[in-house]
Structure 1
């Protein structure tokens, strides 16, 4: 490639290190290009080979998860979201992703853009979002910084979701010292589409036009993917410009324009510009289609003066899409987006050479092989060193007999203390900031239902959806904790009257270069896989968020599960936890071989009343769990159950108390 006249910094190994690349990765890049990269090319490689985009430290482990099922219409990771056939010619697109690092430095915008980004993943596939969920983790509420983060995150989720017009119907909030300084903000979206009317994130057809549509591009979010691929430190506050800024009203326009364009048949391929922006969408679409692209990025609508091609390619400005369409459909495509008062600018066209070529006022500033950049192609894949953490010997050696017995006189005060602990207490302050009823499809929302139930209009069917994970269990027993995370999410869906179909996941862990962290990661994923196979809930995709650490240490390993279930008849089968009538019989449904065990390890009782995180996760057998869930679902469908509530945080005492309170 000829030298450019554009004034860019000379690329050196030291500059590559500053971009988060290792010495080996820099050497691979130079070898593949056959020359020293340009500054723009370095930026492209650094974000595409970041952990956030390449999954280089996790993909080998993720491939061990069950990723096939009769109802799955696309494989895990093949599209922007998972797609599940629910019958009657309908499919559900759903996905969960993290926005942890942005929310740690700018909680309002970090959380808001997390909501916006996951919605785009859904409607980019042609599905209309029908509900949102979230899963949140914070440090103790007596810390002013934690209260600031908590308030900002909840307001960000509420303001964006409410303005966008999709109900936030379910979620979970946990507090623990391990999350202090590094909150977890996981956002999930669910949408419905007719089978056969979906769009794909692919670039095909030599000569087809490539358009950028939606908002103008600014400097917000540059290197956001790289920022998400490193530990949070005192220097992270200086990376506030790496946090994107969202506009839910523009996103609403983009939703309608995108769905109209897909229905009009003018879209060959389309992808949201999320992490790494134009770089990621152009490279991934090209690689998937075995094609290339020629992009003239000076044509990108810009909202800031003096932007460089490096900045334009790496910007993560929100509410933007990359669209491929046939030349004969360009006028229609432009008319649709302009009708919705959105930009639609032609950047170039699809080529057959497999390379993404970036031009700046006619000058070639980047020429990179798409396949070499992407996950599943030439992006690095690492198998990290593992070591069983020493702390597990200490926690496993804990003797529950050292915990004082609870006197009868102290039982009621202890229950009240449990009910008042932040992890069990009502989250009404949170969900009252969310519009849970917009679009009028919410049958069971936050509060008395173990999972949310959302009606599919024009059908008797509904969707039961839930996010769930007990990070304390995973910390104490990673494999069993991973199993329980899947099982409890499925159990919640069953308690609401739904049949679990599939999961999406958001795997929140510490630094993968630490052998103990990677051992826990592999064990937890192994447990998840075992539970998914046993319960028949394949993995449709999701997200890995590493580097959730701060100067005080790593967060609890938190593999958040987003569970999708189908309620065959929302009027007859939807079930809540609230007791319905005096005189109803209260039963504890359990395996036939069940016996009482002193399962206080990792319990909220130990944590809230004794300040302890110790012992083993509760006794758990997958076959028994499956039998209980199948039995309960059968009883609900037979009309024999008036309410159902799973026994989890706080045990049977809290379970019964909550059913009374909900009544």
Structure 2
């Protein structure tokens, strides 16, 4: 063992306090050397140990009828989708790297999440992204967005992933700190899932993929470089893993991401409940002069660590060799209680893996937080005069970046995939026609105004989209993006958000099967660091069964009746309209009621199963007007609707009160539709009918849908 004198002062310089230093010494039975102290420093950091957040995310519901592996149990969530198959899906985030090198930050985010999915034996099939950028008019914002979108697209295309779009939003709080959240999903037969396979002494530990460099070594601020992806190697690596899994040649796979080899080996050790020996001289390097710390903690992309049985090693080497992927034996599982790293047969570090891994022995911090008092509901309509000219309001609203982008993505999705677009993105995953649906949902304005309620709305909105698409929601992943947890106000937002997610996910029976926490997301404002709005992103999985239940949001036929399920309300709280037209931003949350959401969802599911509706579309950002125009655009149809006398027109058109779905109904099915609605007891109203292309509201023409389409193209 290499012994180097270390002091408490050095430990504190590395972020380890006296209590932590004494704990390390006690657990390993001696004073740690410098390398060991550096390893503890990184493994106990916020990014790796989740020391501020773990106890809270550990409280999230993660079990359910279809859940095979929930949050904290594996590298990605595993959900039983029937017919002998599992869906594996995961969300990841590369916010900080994307703020420095947006192309590589976004590309490597896709690669990282893909390797987490394939580490469980599933072939990655699709990617969705949830992106946040600063003020839309800024040149920096345009550059960041172009590079991030290109990074996601380029990496996905090499892996033949179906890029299903997602959501893009703008807010000045992200001016210097973009949010790049990515969800990847794949499917694996039940008998091929790489989960909980028995690890025993004598099995070998291999490393495969890129040679190790100094990229992304966490904790080295002065020499830190953004890791760069190589989708060509990434694709070959994934193909090789899938071939080996078909041959039952792999026991376990760990993606080499944050804290690199140390984190992967520690994870293997705690799950095997035994020791691991690693020979650092066997790790292939792509540059000379690397320190041991850099080798162990590097975040070089396109790398994995595998556990294999001895008798399978030649098969493994052969498969990787044919793919021109370097693969080396670097160690073995041993009869011991520690992980040992050697160089030239000298032990340079020996550690207890249990002390290092999140959720096992890594220490947790009890951050200060407080209950966030609910705001007294404000009736904004009392003090805001009704617009005198709705033409002007609509012309301004259709040019709001957050609403333009939504239309642009939906139109592109329709044109490029030649599918019938739905509120959720639809994918058929095998020859049996198994149809899954996915969506990503986030609204940082709601979450800023009321973190608990905002989180619940994000989940309810994701559920509503899947229901409108004809699906049954099964499970969710989350990405929780916040400012510094050292700020009590920020950490209080985080705590309230987790409480909201827990409440809504349990209510809708959509367990949390995976996720990610990203702290220290801040922008510089006049030389001061200011936290972003709390930005929880929900990624949800659903299944459409039978596939004939698939429902689109587009209007099909002139003359079809348009109905609103749920109630119109005199409510403009938290809306794009309130912010953009009346300059009252970050105030209020729209009306929301969980019980009403569930009743409406159950009813719409019944209507779709009975084939009584031609389209179904959730009312969301921009309110009813944008819901109607989104359904009109794809086939060039329009609408003629009438507002109820008791609801002010701006609230009717642009309010964002929750629990509302717009459906279209053919004249032949109208009587049956009304019968089901009356029997249900759920509020509904007739809005009007589908036109040939004109947009009419309260007998006033607002042009043709073709004029609006030109604005977006």
**What is the root-mean-square deviation of aligned Cα atoms in Å?**
2.3
**Residues of 2 paired with 1:44 and 1:412: CA distance?**
62
Alpha-carbon deviation of 1:443? 7.5
**Distance in structure 2 (CA, Å) of the matches to 1:577 and 1:22:** 56
- Report the CA distance shift for 1:46/1:336 in structure 2 as closer, same or farther (over 3 A): same
Give yes or no for the alignment of 1:514 onto 2:487. Answer: yes
Shift of 1:458: 1.6
**For residues 474-513 of structure 1, what are the structure 2 equivalents within 5 Å?**
474-513=447-486
> How far is 1:582 from its partner?
0.7
Residue 578 (structure 2) pairs with residue 606 (structure 1): yes
Note the C-alpha offset of 1:196: 2.2
| Structure 2 residue matching 1:587: 3-state secondary structure | strand
CA deviation string 1:592-617 (max 9, x = no partner): xx4x4332111111122223224321
- Measure how far apart 1:382 and its partner are: 2.1
- Asked if 2 retains the 8 angstrom alpha-carbon contact of 1:154 and 1:433, the reply is no
Map 1:227-242; keep pairs closer than 5 Å.
241-242=224-225
Question: How many residues align structurally?
Answer: 631
Return the match for 1:112 from 107, 112, 115. 107
Identify which of 539, 543, 562 aligns with 2:539: 562
Matched, 1:3 2:3: yes
The structure with the largest alpha-carbon Rg is: 2
Indicate the SS of the match to 2:281: helix
Counterpart pick for 1:627 among 599, 609, 614: 599
Listed as ranges, the matches of 1:136-175 within 5 Å are 136-175=131-170
Quote the residue 2:666 is aligned against. none
The match for 1:589 among 565, 583, 600 is 565
Unmatched 5+ residue regions in structure 2? 636-713
In structure 1, the residue matched to 2:172 is 177
**What displacement does 1:93 show?**
0.2
* Deviations 1:372-409, CA, capped at 9 Å, x for gaps: 1111211012221113569x76x9668543323222xx
How many angstroms does 1:186 deviate by?
A: 0.3
* TM-score normalized by the length of structure 1: 0.91
Instruction: For 2:95 and 2:38, locate their aligned partners in 1 and report how far apart those are by CA, in whole Å.
Output: 23
The correspondence for 2:243, drawn from 260, 270, 276, is 260
Q: Deviations over 1:68-123 (max 9, x none)?
A: 10101113211110000011101100010111111111111111100100011111
1:377 aligned counterpart, secondary structure: coil
Q: Structure 1 residues 396, 432: closer, same or farther in 2, change over 3 A?
A: closer
Counterpart residue number, 1:530: 503
Residue equivalent to 1:193: 188
Instruction: Kindly indicate whether residue 208 of structure 2 is the aligned counterpart of residue 213 of structure 1.
Output: yes
Q: 1:202 to 1:433 in 2, by over 3 A?
A: farther
Q: Shift of residue 468 of structure 1?
A: 0.5
1:245 Cα offset (Å): 0.5
**Shift of residue 460 of structure 1?**
2.9
Greater displacement, 605-614 / 117-126: 605-614
Alignment correspondent of 2:657:
none
Matches for 1:91-490 after TM superposition, within 5 Å: 91-200=86-195, 204-223=199-218, 241-388=224-371, 399-407=380-388, 410-426=389-405, 444=419, 448-490=421-463
d(CA) in 1 for partners of 2:377, 2:297: 46
Residue 522 of structure 2 corresponds to residue 549 of structure 1: yes
CA-CA distance at 1:464 after TM superposition: 0.6
Matched, 1:577 2:572: no
Q: How far has the Cα of 1:362 moved from its partner? A: 1.5
SS in 2 for 1:346: strand
Any idea what the Cα deviations from partners look like across 1:460-503, whole Å, max 9, x if unmatched? 32111000011110111111111101000111111122110100
* Equivalent residues of 2:165, 2:413 under 8 A apart: no
- Structure 1 contact 48–276 (Cα < 8 Å) conserved: yes
TM-superposed CA distance for 1:434, in Å, is 9.7
Check conservation: 2:372, 2:496, Cα contact below 8 A.
no
* Contact kept? 1:201, 1:285, Cα under 8 Å: no
> What does residue 610 of structure 2 align with?
638
Deviation of 1:271 (Å): 1.0
- For the structure 1 residues 401 and 51, does the alpha-carbon distance in structure 2 shift closer, same or farther, using more than 3 Å as the test? same
Give the Å deviation of 1:17: 4.3
Within 2, Cα distance between the matches of 1:195 and 1:436? 35
Q: Measured at CA, do residues 21 and 422 of structure 1 come closer, stay the same or move farther in structure 2, by a change above 3 Å? A: farther
* Corresponding residue number in structure 2 for 1:233: none
Report if the CA contact (8 A) 1:67-1:539 is conserved.
yes
Q: Deviations over 1:488-530 (max 9, x none)?
A: 0111111122110100111111111211112111111111111
SS at match of 1:466: strand
1:70 & 1:299 partners in 2: Cα distance? 44
**For the residues of structure 1 that align with 2:586 and 2:382, how far apart are their CA atoms?**
12
Q: Is the 8 A contact 2:48 2:358 kept in 1?
A: yes
The 3-state SS of whatever aligns with 2:30 is coil
